[in-house]
Chains A and B, each alone.
Chain A
Amino acid sequence: MKNDQTLGEILRQQGISRRGFLKFCVATASLLALPPGMVPAIAAALEKARRPSVIWLSFQECTGCTESLTRSDAASIEDLIFNTISLDYHHTLQAASGTGAEDARESAMKENWGKYVLVVDGSIPTGNPGYSTIAGISNVEMLMEAAAGAAAIVAVGSCASFGGIPHASPNPTGAVSVTDLISDKPIVNVPGCPPIPVVIAGVLTHFLTFGIPELDELHRPLAFYGKSIHDRCYRRPFYDKGLFAESFDDEGAKKGWCLYKLGCKGPTTYNACATTKWNQGTSFPIQSGHPCLGCSQPDFWDAGGFYHALSIPTEDTARTVLYGAATGVAAGLALGGLNRARKAHAARKHEKVTINDLEKGG
């Protein structure tokens, strides 16, 4: 399949009817969180779109993001790989390995220099280069080389977007995000641990149809990360009423009350879980009775305990109070003693004024 054909041409060649194509566009509009009225515009854009070469680099990661993407339902992975994008390098999914695989990456880069989309999952260690290598090449080196020729970079997952779990304190590998290293390319962050599959697919599709999506200050596409979980949570009315589950097995939990007290990070987490949901729109963590961990937020691993309510301080305040009290008592006693000594001193030096003193002074 040549890359200079438009998507419309490719689909027609495969015998996909106009109906099928329009259905694909309808699903895409839903995927991109665009109003259904945008379908004709999407159809026109997809018709003319050319399959971009995609190079997918995996660094310090767990492959959860790839696992998530391969379960994307809107465009099944086969459709996505073979119709919409040309996935030229993905060392987990591709059949080739070793030198063959690296050759594929290098030739794809050379052929599409300046035009390919670079997808990154996993954080990049900046400590010892040996912490994470592919074919003997350090992650930083491979990223910088591939980024130089990329039209755009998509950082998939919280690790690539914000450093994620490898970046968690004490960050032994010196892990950083893509945006920490690269600033001269358009970067789209698709955070989540993992991100919702259709969101990964949606961002790639948006790039194909309308280019770089509208982003917030953390480079997240607003279409998916514009609203917090809390603001779109079906359990919100319980929060507003102050009806909370106190434990995972009490009456409140069974009645589906708000999970704030059990540590829900929904109020400060931006993601599409509450509307797009997971597993073909079946459910999302809160619907299953578990608080949101805030996995798509920066430093979610260090943002206090998962099961600590959002209002609770992240550090050990009880210890601070104890030490503070001890210091306070010591300092108070010392100062009190000092004050008493001054008072006694002043009293000793105090001389009564007599009538003679006044006459002398006058």
Chain B
Amino acid sequence: MARTTLAEFAIEVGDAGTHNVQPLLHEIRHALAQLLEQGKETVIDLRSIPLAPGEEAAIEQALGEGEVRATLSALGPSDFRETSYPGVWVVTHYNRDDQIVGKFVEVTSAPALLRSQTEDIAAGLQRLEARLTQDGGGRVV
């Protein structure tokens, strides 16, 4: 007996979608212009917008791949990717189980989390000083 497989039941997205891809790209264009003219940064939470299956991928595809790709490792990995439009970054945060906890489009010259944080710098300085003191007078290891 012929059985219908799951693949035959694959639900198409159809051509309708949510019509949210184009407006989002326009929003990014506006944000980019603002960044250039006023230095104002924008963050768009991709999870706050209703998107049909495949539309998130469509946005990422439209934005393309740029020059920079960076990985952060704090409470799980985070992926920072500059798109083919300099100043537009796609940022994906994962938790320790590699599950996505947030996906954002950041319009900025560099995502804030990539910069070393003042508190961390201070803590790092303390550690370095402590180590140098421990090692006793500037002996380079």
Query: When the two chains form their complex, are residues B43 and A20 in contact, meaning their CB atoms are under 8 A apart?
Result: no
8 Å CB contacts to A: which residues of B119-134? 119-120, 123
Interface size class of A (residues with CB under 8 A): 35 or more
Whether A73 is near chain B, meaning CB under 8 Å from some CB there, is: yes
Interface check A255, CB cutoff 8 A? yes
Q: Is the CB of A19 within 8 A of B117?
A: yes
Q: Closest CB of chain B to A270's CB: distance in Å? A: 15
In angstroms, how far is the closest chain B Cβ from the Cβ of A280? 5
Complex formed: what's the CA distance from A257 to B11 in Å?
9
B53 interface residue per 8 A CB criterion = yes
Cβ–Cβ contact B93 & A23, under 8 A: yes
| Beta-carbon nearest neighbor of B20 in chain A | A234
Main secondary structure of the interface of A (DSSP, over half): helix
A76 touches B95 (CB 8 A): yes
| B69 part of interface (Cβ distance < 8 Å) | no
Which residues of the other chain, B, contact A29 by a CB distance below 8 angstroms?
45
Partner of B100, one of A26, A33, A280: A280
Closest to B98 in A: A280
Q: Tally B residues with Cβ within 8 Å of A.
A: 43
Judging by beta carbons under 8 Å apart, are A74 and B95 in contact? yes
Q: Whole-angstrom distance from the CB of A23 to the nearest CB of chain B? A: 6
Contact of B48 with A73 in the complex, beta carbons under 8 Å: no
**Interface stretch (choices A60-68, A123-131, A281-289):** A281-289
B43 contact set on A, CB distance < 8 A: 36-37
List A contacts of B99 (CB < 8 A). 73, 280
Chain B positions within 8 Å of A254 at CB level = 9-12
Q: Which of B22-30, B58-66, B71-79, B81-89 contacts A (4 or more CB under 8 A)?
A: B71-79
Chain A residues, Cβ within 8 Å of B51 = 234
**B39 within 8 Å of A (CB atoms):** no
B 12-26 binary contact with A (CB < 8 Å = 1; else 0): 111011110000000
Query: In the complex the two chains form, what is the Cα distance from A26 to B80 in whole Å?
Result: 14
Q: How far is the CA of A27 from the CA of B76 in the complex (A)?
A: 12
* Interchain CB contact under 8 A, A255 and B74: no
A-B complex: 9 closest residue pairs judged by Cβ atoms: A20-B74, A36-B43, A18-B117, A234-B52, A237-B16, A18-B119, A30-B102, A20-B75, A27-B101
Extra 13 A-B pairs, beta carbons < 8 Å, given A23-B74, A26-B93, A74-B95: A16-B74, A19-B74, A19-B113, A22-B112, A23-B113, A26-B113, A79-B75, A234-B51, A237-B19, A253-B11, A274-B50, A275-B47, A275-B48
Could you list which residues of chain B lie within 8 angstroms of chain A, going by C-beta atoms? Answer: 4, 9-14, 16-19, 43-45, 47-53, 55, 72, 74-75, 78, 93, 95-97, 99-104, 112-113, 117-120, 123
